[in-house]
Structure 1
């Protein structure tokens, strides 16, 4: 099979940034209405935390999405999650499942052994561009096309 690549999701990155800005503006409107020194202190602490989170979000999610960087790759050797820097060989996989969450789905990969990541690795599809079902179906198709690697255990 040929290499299948999925880029970062620009839409979800922008939506996450927008949500953070809305929360900051809501807190600011409450602080302005309160006319209290304590509320400004709380706002300052929240802004420090929010600034840190915005820098992390922009540098690790938005910029790679704008550049079109690859978030998830499927190839003959295995699956590579570039968001968390995790690579798994097809022969190391015991089972695959799709777990649906409130905002995004996750691919749960059961391993045949205990790795540095544990015996279950979860790849969230929130930051991956594409339909969750289609991505899972592609992963399952790759996994099923390599029975000789899967049955080596």
Structure 2
């Protein structure tokens, strides 16, 4: 049981670090999309790049510790834990979101962004809503 508790602790720690980054990155995109100041734009490009590169390992560590938990609990538990199948679907979507952030970063890097600050404000809400669902699935286990 001690192993499972350590795995859970590190899974949550890395998840919090990952989400901190994917909550903040779209806010930088909002500022970037709305700025006309070349100096500010260059500063934002650097901040966006560094932040995304900084939080990406946390995404993979979150996944690694989550998979370690699944293996620790075993196959029978995995098959029976229907809530987990929904959670893993959301995790796949979150990884797609994270990957899409790299595409957006590249668009900003090459001054090809065509989206408004409003778009990025809405885009920023996606991981928030996903986090609500993931937490409810993981802690309430409604299925």
TM-score (norm 1): 0.38
Instruction: Give the number of the structure whose alpha-carbon radius of gyration is greater.
Output: 1
Q: Which has the higher strand share?
A: 1
Q: Which has the higher helix share?
A: 2
